[in-house]
Amino acid sequence: MKKIYLDNAATTQVDTDVLDSMYAVMRDFYGNPSSTHSFGKASKTLVEKARKSIARIFNAQSGEIIFTSGGTEADNLILRAAIRNLGVDVIITSKIEHHAVLKTVEQLCLDNNVTVEYVNLGENGNVDIQHLESLLTKNESQKTLVSLMHVNNEVGNILNIENVANLCKDYKAYFHSDTVQSVHHLGIDTQKIPVDFFTGSAHKFHGPKGIGFAYIRKDSGLRAIVTGGEQERGLRAGTESVHSIVGLETAFLKAIQNKKEIDEHLLKIKQYFKEGLQQAFPDVAFNGTSGDLELSSPSILNVRFPFPPEKGKLLLFHLDLLGGVACSAGSACQSGSNQDSHVLKAILSSEDLKKTSIRFSFSKYNTKEEIDSVLETLIAFAKN
């Protein structure tokens, strides 16, 4: 049975060019980048080259890129340091953020004298900008941090990050965005968009797991939450994983250089799948804005199937074990919790929530032939 991987919002297949670059570093550049001898300096050069390459894409300074173990650590670094170092009193966020943000905000509110405000969401899960402005007005006398993700990892909704950044600037609020699902698709020009902090993770764009970065605007005032050595401009102690950083750089540059071609391919795959689903299941629906090719990520389609609840409970099992199809009911980070998706709970009616929703997410490696096979599996499931 052929395996079909449609869970790329959770993680992606590592590109062969990335594997080659990482192997070369592990073989030839094994010095500690903090060491002052030639072996260390050679490794340090690779780290700083990667930092400059990534910063250049964002029109940022190299010192504004801090390497981390991934998006979760980067979000934690920013949110926790904002409370401790910037004196933030109020955090404005939404109920459909990634748990790296939601759980951290909840903990910060328990441990500190911090107020959390949740911005209203529209019918499709989009942020209500007018309500966001009212919350900023209400808390104008307080030090405020707004944390809203650029692209939702479950339903693919796209935030107008430029509008939100400018609104935060008008109200002198800090703005953090979890951009893990978007930096390789949509990009950010830090000279045009006044975002203070954002994050990335290599395994979302065909790089290795366990490496990511935080963008921290110069002179922000943040300090380390992981202390020890002076690595990463003193913001993140610990010996840098040189091969992982080079893998991140290789993957990111390749994604950006081939962005137009990749996004066109993703949109074609997504549209083809959407049309096939609508033809096979006239009552099918799409959660959030994921069914809108212009207003959502090209790589995410969150599908609500018209199956009876008891039958729908078997769908993921059928797709995986009988159809060889890898997909998910929501974020991989919550897969062991046995809870409904917090994103869908926030945006769906109680009746729609009872229906079976599946997130399919695509990559440059997926083909129309694979989509045909998935559709055949779904049609066979419906007939049984």
User: Tokens standing for 56?
Assistant: 């250049």
Burial (CB count within 10 angstroms: exposed 0-12, middle 13-18, buried 19+), residue 27: exposed
> Could you tell me the CA-to-CA distances from 29 to 14, 245, 301 in Å, in that order?
21, 12, 41
Quick count: other Cβ atoms within 10 Å of Cβ 16?
9
> Could you tell me the CA-to-CA distances from 110 to 90, 175, 281, 383 in Å, in that order?
13, 22, 46, 50
User: Tokens standing for 257?
Assistant: 């250089």
| Cβ neighbours of residue 53 closer than 8 Å, sequence gap 6 or more | 249, 252, 253
* Alpha helix ranges (H) inside the chain: 16-28, 38-57, 71-86, 99-111, 129-138, 161-170, 242-257, 259-280, 309-312, 315-317, 342-347, 350-354, 368-383
Q: List the catalytic residues.
A: 333
| Cβ neighbours of residue 57 closer than 8 Å, sequence gap 6 or more | 187, 252, 253, 256
Nearest to 302 by CA among 151, 160, 164, 178: 151
200 by DSSP, 3-state: which?
strand
Nearest to 9 by CA among 250, 271, 301: 301
d(CA 360, CA 347): 18
91 by DSSP, 3-state: which?
strand
Are 202 and 244 contacting, i.e. CB atoms less than 8 angstroms apart?
yes
